[in-house]
Copies of this chain bind each other. A is one copy, B any other.
């Protein structure tokens, strides 16, 4: 058995310790005589697994008591629809900060379902190289909420501050955040947000699970014409078991939360590791003649590091040799090309060191 270094943007690397535990528990979960996959979601054993996962997530993110945690399905993409269904019941318009491809998908789905979708600020004029500043965000008078994408997985562009969502009349509205590719990368002040959602397949667990953290006063704003399973209130009241949840993915998420708490030592420790990993890779890129990254330093993502080679004819040999060296999934997203190294929590610092060494060696030989 060999484990290569995996820089995939998602579904992404999982901690080896988590996979080992899942492997060891696959046929018989701790003496219960069956796999977690085979458990009734209503059974005492499974409910204990589910509740521990939520408790560990609450502990990691210091989630206040007036927030509900939902474990649901359909990925962040389904939340692009669920958010407006849940928050536009009292009227008003969804407002967005557009920072790249994922923001635009959220905007498009809201527009498709409910027409008006206001872009309150955009990074487009900068070529998506910097995030709009607070003063550039102009909400509409009827803004029901402001949606932001904390970290653009494809562009490698990240917010370096938590925006305030203030209408022209001075009234504050909920901040909604797609945190799919940055949640759990460091501590977070949840109380600044109305809704946080995150597809699991980057820092949480396997694809097919999405975690939603919602302030409980926002459970009362839903449109009545919503598919039942989209309803935050319904899910909250049903303990995310309105129908059969993605039980095995939820269990794996719990193993990841345990790993973060006990193996890593919590989110401040995780953040320090992530800062170090990203800093050394960006430094290697900036110091080279061959590689470059265009993002404003303050908005560079710690999770997704896109870079291009000065001569794109070198892309293919770069990728082929990287794979030979056990450095997997460095190809940039098909919409932008180039390279991308995703440095999620489960990507060890040794992987980043190996990548930097490989990049330097490649540049020496080919650059």
Chain A residues with CB under 8 Å of chain B are 1-4, 6, 8-14, 16, 19-20, 22-23, 26-28, 31-35, 37-43, 73-78, 80-81, 109, 112-113, 199, 201, 206-209, 225, 227-230, 242-249, 252, 326, 328-329, 334
With A4-B34, A73-B73: A11-B206 Cβ-Cβ less than 8 Å: no
- Chain B residues lying within 8 Å of A206, measured Cβ to Cβ, are 37, 246-248
**What number of copies of this chain does the assembly contain?**
2
Establish whether residues A113 and B225, one from each chain, have CB atoms under 8 Å apart when the complex forms.
yes
Least distance between A115 CB and chain B CB atoms (Å): 11
Establish whether residues A208 and B248, one from each chain, have CB atoms under 8 Å apart when the complex forms.
yes
Least distance between A245 CB and chain B CB atoms (Å): 7
Establish whether residues B78 and A3, one from each chain, have CB atoms under 8 Å apart when the complex forms.
no
With A28-B3, A74-B229, A245-B208: A329-B23 Cβ-Cβ less than 8 Å: no
Complex CA–CA separation, A112 to B222 (angstroms): 14
Least distance between A181 CB and chain B CB atoms (Å): 12
- Chain B residues lying within 8 Å of A246, measured Cβ to Cβ, are 73, 206-208, 246, 249
Establish whether residues B16 and A27, one from each chain, have CB atoms under 8 Å apart when the complex forms.
yes
Q: Would you mind naming 29 contact pairs between A and B with Cβ atoms under 8 Å apart? A: A1-B27, A3-B28, A8-B39, A10-B40, A10-B244, A11-B247, A13-B34, A14-B37, A19-B35, A19-B37, A20-B27, A22-B26, A23-B23, A34-B328, A37-B207, A37-B252, A73-B75, A73-B78, A73-B208, A109-B227, A112-B228, A113-B225, A206-B246, A207-B247, A208-B245, A208-B247, A208-B249, A227-B230, A248-B249
